Amino acid sequence: MKTKKLINDGAAAVDEMLAGILAAHPRHLRVVEGSPRSIVANEGPRPGKVGLVIGGGSGHEPTFLGFVGKGLADAAAIGNVFASPPPDPIIECAKAVDGGAGVLFMYGNYAGDVMNFDMAAEMLAMDDIEARTVLTTDDVASAPIEQRERRRGVAGNVFIFKAAGAACDLMYSLDEVERVARWANDRTYTMGVALSPCSLPQTLKPNFQLGDDEMEIGMGIHGEPGVARGPLKPADQVTSELLDRILGEMKAERGDRVAVLVNSLGSTPLMELYIMMRKVKMMLDAAGIEIHLSLVGNYCTSLEMAGASITLMHLDDELQRLIDHPCDCVMFRSGEASR
């Protein structure tokens, strides 16, 4: 059985999506001339400001394009579904947003993205544009804590990009933006659970199989294997399993503050996310941890995959200020769904 999708031609889906995004949001976003997979915030880049370029495969919307806008990322380089963009659109993004203060690349830690962004950075160096990189590695399930640098980047991107984008908007130097970005990543933890697969527009076939009563804890946003497969449990128990693992690593003390994201992987509705949020709040209350800000909804998806993830960012005063800094993106405004 093929998955039903409202598309025209699987091979054209990403470009037609981008055309729709530009049609819907012309005052916020523009495409770099001659580089249709390089999308720039109209009001983002400016002289003397570090340019923040994010990007990666499509299919995770609103990640990445939804986070391009004043106060957050300046540009996104867009790949095919679940595939890294090649170096060219990354280079064009960097050139378009370079304000003379350097460029920071931020994206999830996946081999294809690392290869292409690194290649772009090397080529930009020849044009005297300094491009540094901070990889996001918030997915707790994807490698042990001792090998944090091997972990994948997932929904925590939202908070990590947000902190770095605010630092750019506040005219921090490239050194300082890089420091903030690394710190934001170090303090951000995500655990997810998958209930059913998605299918790519080109194949319309499920990208993995799960039994009719099964869930998989820790599955990645491209269907990468997780850490435990078993029968679906009640939401409170699933939430506990995810959050216990995060809290075990985070080492928060009573009185500490966090930003919370309860994210749908695609088709899991708000009703279920808020049921999980209820349990998150109960557990954080019990631990004496204060919720400074909550986001609940579709922030980092895997097309129509069913499932959810929980992210905590362990705030300090600086991260809190940066997370609260206003931003104006087409699919995200600071304060939206928050507090």
Active-site positions read 60, 222
Residue list 208-247, contact with a copy of itself (CB under 8 A): 212-213, 215, 232, 234-236, 238
Is 269 a residue that touches a copy of itself (CB under 8 A)?
A: yes
Give the Cα separation of 149 and 166 in Å (integer).
Answer: 24
Please identify, among the stretches 152-160, 166-174, 246-254, 325-333, the one whose residues bind a copy of itself according to the rule CB under 8 A: 325-333
Is 278 a residue that touches a copy of itself (CB under 8 A)?
A: yes
Is 17 a residue that touches a copy of itself (CB under 8 A)?
A: yes
Residue list 134-173, contact with a copy of itself (CB under 8 A): none
Give the Cα separation of 154 and 76 in Å (integer).
Answer: 16
CB 325 to a copy of itself: min, Å: 16
CB 22 to a copy of itself: min, Å: 9
Question: Cβ closer to a copy of itself: 81 or 140?
Answer: 81
Q: In the set 78, 96, 273, 315, which binds a copy of itself (CB under 8 A)? A: 273
- The 3-state secondary structure of 13-57 reads HHHHHHHHHHHHCCCCEEEECCEEEEEEECCCCCCCCCEEEEEEE
Q: In the set 121, 158, 191, 277, which binds a copy of itself (CB under 8 A)? A: 277
Question: Cβ closer to a copy of itself: 28 or 245?
Answer: 28
Cβ partners under 8 Å of residue 79, min gap 6: 14, 37, 55, 56, 57, 58, 85, 86, 113
Give the Cα separation of 213 and 175 in Å (integer).
Answer: 49
CB 272 to a copy of itself: min, Å: 4
Question: Cβ closer to a copy of itself: 205 or 339?
Answer: 339
User: What is the SS3 assignment for 90?
Assistant: helix
ω into residue 64 within 30 of 0, thus cis?
A: yes
Residue list 289-308, contact with a copy of itself (CB under 8 A): 291, 294, 296-298, 301, 303-304, 306-308
Q: In the set 229, 281, 321, 325, which binds a copy of itself (CB under 8 A)? A: 281
Is 19 a residue that touches a copy of itself (CB under 8 A)?
A: yes
Amino acid identity at 106 = M
Strand order in the sheet with 103-108: 29-32, 35-41, 75-81, 51-58, 103-108, 131-136
Please identify, among the stretches 1-9, 91-99, 108-116, 176-184, the one whose residues bind a copy of itself according to the rule CB under 8 A: 1-9
Among 49, 81, 88, which residue's Cα sits nearest to residue 64?
A: 81
Residue list 99-138, contact with a copy of itself (CB under 8 A): none
Q: In the set 130, 272, 318, 324, which binds a copy of itself (CB under 8 A)? A: 272
CB 212 to a copy of itself: min, Å: 5
Among 180, 220, 176, 212, which residue's Cα sits nearest to residue 196?
A: 212
Cβ partners under 8 Å of residue 17, min gap 6: 58, 61
Q: In the set 195, 246, 300, 310, which binds a copy of itself (CB under 8 A)? A: 195
Cβ partners under 8 Å of residue 184, min gap 6: 159, 160, 163, 164, 313, 319, 322
Residue list 73-102, contact with a copy of itself (CB under 8 A): 81
Give the Cα separation of 289 and 282 in Å (integer).
Answer: 10
**Cβ proximity of 309 and 192 under 8 Å:** yes
Is 275 a residue that touches a copy of itself (CB under 8 A)?
A: yes
Give the Cα separation of 93 and 48 in Å (integer).
Answer: 17
Residue list 51-70, contact with a copy of itself (CB under 8 A): 58-59, 61-62, 66
Question: Cβ closer to a copy of itself: 13 or 141?
Answer: 13
